[in-house]
């Protein structure tokens, strides 16, 4: 019953906020002589979202139905994501303090720029679709302007079955990374690409189906990919076309196997159809509860062009895929997709030879940041930093800063970002000019490693700090370089705080979230939407390894494995098999990572693991039970558990295995 009450409260809060924002927008439209088209689109989306929420509120009048929808109110559920975005829109519009007077609108105009408004439109469209599908059976009356898009999303009749089928096709979330990149992309950055003859020809279907954007590390390829996705999503609303996308990440290679990539693309495209295709529904009924086979997914994917006038696929950072386990299958797949009528937008560094040879059929364009983009970004950063703005105006050196930074960058956008952040941190005019003079002398002659001089400067700053800060920064960089997947901020806080002979961990021992980024002097970034933390760029990992900033892979994996074992040995995890596990996973967020990835780190650290650490862990059958249950909770059950404990026992004397007759007898695992 408490879950239902919380859900109703969340729905009412969301309904009030949506109504308030829609009223604000309608007030602007009625008070302005010519309201921009994007404002009208935003208001239309808010009005449509409001109708869905009202329908959801009515639906909650039935207690049984309320219980089935209680998952909407989960922390990572669609209600909370929607509420978060609308609260941010409310802040950006400053609607609480502005009032609704015509004079206000005439004097100030619409508070947001066009691109910012369009971003909110896209987010509201996603939230609208998520909530509508969760709601199940419904029918909305909408304006002619939204009819094409609404017919795709709002005509799903069997909502619960549709959700199950989409979840069967692919269990992950495809848009989290895009939302993160979208939020960090500055206005106007990358717009030059949309005006090039190569891109316009590709978009309009006048040139080759595949477009290959090549750029050196830090050139801004990922931001350009996010811009292309937004551009396509905005334009296909009225054309009935479809788009699916993937951001490849070196740190998530095991979660982006070829079959995972195909499954994600299929789910994205199927969700844009008016209804689930019969062949997909039939195959789902035949195979459940088994996951779809790769042949089924590929067949469904190749059938998608017959359902849409055009299908666009955007894949960013092919070079971050492993050559053997990913690209060996993906590159031939892209060639087949090219031949079957998909329009592909692919990006990569220029030097992986297999990518260059495989994409010989594509239109190619070198991607590098133009001077206009870099100038715009530098001015924005200075303008938004009051201290830096004051010092630059006092020194009268804005044009000199722009000239030096643009010249140094040579088309590498990430260099501009590092350099302007460094300039903005200076405490006085004298310091600013001194650092600007140093930047004039920097050489970025290496085409393969253009960021090395900047990384050298960052490491010099980092190493000048107290030893304790340096050690913790190196630990952070080691974890972010070698972790099996992207970590949340909370997971990393725990991971770097686990110490020897310590079997509990209070929050007072952990660094504050902002400290994580401060310690690393700009080498790490936090994605606020997903609350994850990562290295600022894949090139940073290359640098840390090449320059031996972090220890060898063998040694780092050893440290990470020992941390996981120490954490799994915590007193909090000495639970009986009957005790529920989910409260532990919520309270101890690092438990999921430690349980699921211990075997991976043991496999890569060689044969030497601290004997005492293993012995304490193996002596507690309840800790081992918690470990196995947490691992089952977060991974495929078809993997053999014996291989995990067998690997742990391998690193310890055989005498330390549980005796026969104990709950975890050795015969179960060895």
- Provide mean pLDDT across the span 340-354: 91
Percent of residues in the chain assigned helix, strand, coil, to nearest 5: 65, 5, 30
Q: How far is CA 301 from CA 286, 337, 516, in A?
A: 18, 9, 41
Q: What is the full DSSP assignment across 390-413?
A: HHHHHHT-HHHHHHHHHHHHTT-H
Three-class SS state of 363: strand
Give the pLDDT band (50/70/90) at residue 158.
very low
**Interatomic CA distance for residues 50 and 19, integer angstroms:** 7
pLDDT of residue 114: 78
Q: What is the pLDDT of residues 182-199, one digit of tens each?
A: 877 877 788 899 999 999
Q: Among 306, 234, 301, 296, which residue's Cα sits nearest to residue 266?
A: 301
Q: What is the dihedral of CA 526, 530, 532, 533, to 10 degrees?
A: -20
More confident residue, 468 or 237: 468
Task: Give CA angle at 308 (306, 312), nearest 5°.
Answer: 110
pLDDT of residue 529: 67
- pLDDT > 70 fraction of the chain, expressed in percent and rounded: 80
- Provide mean pLDDT across the span 517-546: 82
Stretch among 98-112, 226-240, 255-269, 504-518 having the lowest mean pLDDT: 98-112
Residue pair 135/56 in contact (Cβ under 8 Å)? The answer is yes
Residue pair 254/142 in contact (Cβ under 8 Å)? The answer is no
Relative to beta strand 532-535, strand 487-488 is antiparallel
254 φψ region: left (φ > 0), alpha (ψ -120 to 50), beta (else): alpha
Residue pair 497/519 in contact (Cβ under 8 Å)? The answer is no
- The pair of structure tokens assigned to 358 is 């495989």
Q: Among 22, 44, 27, 43, which residue's Cα sits nearest to residue 106?
A: 27
Give the pLDDT band (50/70/90) at residue 9.
confident
Residues 6+ apart with CB under 8 A from 652: 609, 611, 614, 615, 618
More confident residue, 404 or 144: 404
Helix 258-270 × helix 328-339 angle, to 10°: 30
Q: What is the pLDDT of residues 632-646, one digit of tens each?
A: 764 433 334 444 455
Q: How far is CA 11 from CA 57, 81, 96, in A?
A: 7, 12, 20
Give the pLDDT band (50/70/90) at residue 134.
low
Task: Give CA angle at 542 (533, 435), nearest 5°.
Answer: 80
Residue 138, pLDDT > 70, answer no
Residue pair 345/313 in contact (Cβ under 8 Å)? The answer is yes
pLDDT of residue 652: 44
Residue 100, pLDDT > 50, answer no
**Interatomic CA distance for residues 564 and 591, integer angstroms:** 8
> pTM value?
0.62
Q: How far is CA 594 from CA 122, 332, 483, 557, 585, in A?
A: 36, 35, 10, 13, 11
- pLDDT > 90 fraction of the chain, expressed in percent and rounded: 25
Residue 347, pLDDT > 70, answer yes
- Asked whether the domain spanning 170-366 has the same topology as the one spanning 1-148, the reply is no
Q: What is the pLDDT of residues 35-52, one digit of tens each?
A: 787 888 888 888 888 877
**Interatomic CA distance for residues 553 and 541, integer angstroms:** 12
Q: What is the pLDDT of residues 247-278, one digit of tens each?
A: 998 888 888 899 999 999 999 999 999 889 98
pLDDT of residue 633: 66
More confident residue, 19 or 528: 19
Q: Among 353, 172, 130, 357, which residue's Cα sits nearest to residue 262?
A: 172
Residues 6+ apart with CB under 8 A from 289: none
Residue pair 43/111 in contact (Cβ under 8 Å)? The answer is no
Task: Give CA angle at 347 (346, 352), nearest 5°.
Answer: 110
- Provide mean pLDDT across the span 243-248: 95
- Provide mean pLDDT across the span 279-289: 88
pLDDT of residue 8: 73
Task: Give CA angle at 453 (451, 457), nearest 5°.
Answer: 115
CATH 3.10.450 at 1-148, yes or no: no
- The pair of structure tokens assigned to 494 is 């725990």
- The pair of structure tokens assigned to 518 is 């401060």
- Provide mean pLDDT across the span 499-505: 79
Q: Which stretch, 2-11, 53-62, 388-397, 510-519, has highest mean pLDDT? A: 388-397
pLDDT of residue 338: 94
pLDDT of residue 504: 79
User: Which phi and psi (to 5°) does residue 596 adopt?
Assistant: -80, -25
**Interatomic CA distance for residues 425 and 431, integer angstroms:** 9
- Provide mean pLDDT across the span 151-156: 45
Q: Among 306, 304, 305, 225, which residue's Cα sits nearest to residue 267?
A: 304
Residue 448, pLDDT > 70, answer no
Residue 348, pLDDT > 90, answer yes
Q: Where are the domains of the chain?
A: 1-148, 170-366, 371-443, 464-656
**In the predicted model, what is the mean pLDDT of the chain?**
79
**Interatomic CA distance for residues 301 and 322, integer angstroms:** 23
Give the pLDDT band (50/70/90) at residue 86.
confident
For CA atoms 43, 44, 50, 53, the dihedral sign is negative
CATH 3.40.50.2000 at 170-366, yes or no: no
Residue pair 439/242 in contact (Cβ under 8 Å)? The answer is no
pLDDT of residue 642: 47
Q: Which helix (H) or strand (E) holds 364?
A: strand 363-366
Paired strand residues for 347: 213
**Interatomic CA distance for residues 648 and 508, integer angstroms:** 31
């Amino acid at each position: 019953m408490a879950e239902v009450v919380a859900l109703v409260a969340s729905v009412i809060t969301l309904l009030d906020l949506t109504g308030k924002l829609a009223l604000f927008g309608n007030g602007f439209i009625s008070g302005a002589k010519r309201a921009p088209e994007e404002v009208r689109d935003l208001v239309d989306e808010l009005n449509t979202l409001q109708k869905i929420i009202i329908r959801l509120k009515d639906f909650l009048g039935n207690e049984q139905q309320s219980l089935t929808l209680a998952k909407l109110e989960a922390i990572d559920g669609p209600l909370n994501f929607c509420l978060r975005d609308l609260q941010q829109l409310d802040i950006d519009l400053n609607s609480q303090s502005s009032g609704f007077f015509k004079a206000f609108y005439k004097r100030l105009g619409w508070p947001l720029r066009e691109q910012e408004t369009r971003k909110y439109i896209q987010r509201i469209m996603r939230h609208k679709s998520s909530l509508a599908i969760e709601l199940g059976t419904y029918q909305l009356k909408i304006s002619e302007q939204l009819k094409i898009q609404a017919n795709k999303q709002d005509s799903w009749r069997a909502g619960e079955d549709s959700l199950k089928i989409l979840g069967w096709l692919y269990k992950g979330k495809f848009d989290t990374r895009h939302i993160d990149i979208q939020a960090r992309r500055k206005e106007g950055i990358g717009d030059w690409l949309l005006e090039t003859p190569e891109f316009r020809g590709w978009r309009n279907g006048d040139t080759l189906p595949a477009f290959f954007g090549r750029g050196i590390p830090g050139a801004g390829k990922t931001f350009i990919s996010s811009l292309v996705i937004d551009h396509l999503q905005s334009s296909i609303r009225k054309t009935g076309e479809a788009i699916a996308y993937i951001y490849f990440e070196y740190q998530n290679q095991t979660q982006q196997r070829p079959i995972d990539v195909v499954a994600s693309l299929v789910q994205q495209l199927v969700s844009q159809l008016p209804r689930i295709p019969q062949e997909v529904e039939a195959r789902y009924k035949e195979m459940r509860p088994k996951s779809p086979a790769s042949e089924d997914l590929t067949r469904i994917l190749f059938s998608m062009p017959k359902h849409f006038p055009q299908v666009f696929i955007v894949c960013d950072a092919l070079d971050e895929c492993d050559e053997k386990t990913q690209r060996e299958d993906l590159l031939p797949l892209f060639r087949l997709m090219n031949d079957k009528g998909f329009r592909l937008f692919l990006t990569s560094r220029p030097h992986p030879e297999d990518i260059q040879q495989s994409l010989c059929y594509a239109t190619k364009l070198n991607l590098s940041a133009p001077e206009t983009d870099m100038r715009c970004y530098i001015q924005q950063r200075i303008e938004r930093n009051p201290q830096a703005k004051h010092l630059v105006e006092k020194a009268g050196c804005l044009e000199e800063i722009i000239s030096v930074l643009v010249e140094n960058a040579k088309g590498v956008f990430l260099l501009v970002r590092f350099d302007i952040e460094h300039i903005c941190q200076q405490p006085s005019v004298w310091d600013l000019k001194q650092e600007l003079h140093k930047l004039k002398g920097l050489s970025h002659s290496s085409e393969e490693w253009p960021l090395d001089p900047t990384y050298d400067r960052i490491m010099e700053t980092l190493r000048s700090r107290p030893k304790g800060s340096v050690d913790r920064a190196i630990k952070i960089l080691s974890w972010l370089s070698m972790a099996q997947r992207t970590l949340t901020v909370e997971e990393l806080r725990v991971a770097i705080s686990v110490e020897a002979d310590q079997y509990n961990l209070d929050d007072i021992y952990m660094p504050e979230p902002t400290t994580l980024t401060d310690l690393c002097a700009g080498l790490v970034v936090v994605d606020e939407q997903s609350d994850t933390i990562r290295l600022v760029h894949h090139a940073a990992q290359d640098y840390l390894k090449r320059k031996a900033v972090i220890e060898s892979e063998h040694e780092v994996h050893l440290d990470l494995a020992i941390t996981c074992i120490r954490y799994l040995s915590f007193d909090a995890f000495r639970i009986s098999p009957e005790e529920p596990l989910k409260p532990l996973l919520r309270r101890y967020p690092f438990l999921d990572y430690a349980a699921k990835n211990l075997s991976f780190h043991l496999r890569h650290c060689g044969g030497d693991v601290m004997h005492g650490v293993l012995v304490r862990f193996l002596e507690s059958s309840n800790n081992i039970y918690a470990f196995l249950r947490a691992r089952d909770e977060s991974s495929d059950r078809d993997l053999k558990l014996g291989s995990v404990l067998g690997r742990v026992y391998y690193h310890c004397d055989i005498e330390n295995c549980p005796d026969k007759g104990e709950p975890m007898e050795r015969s179960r695992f060895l």
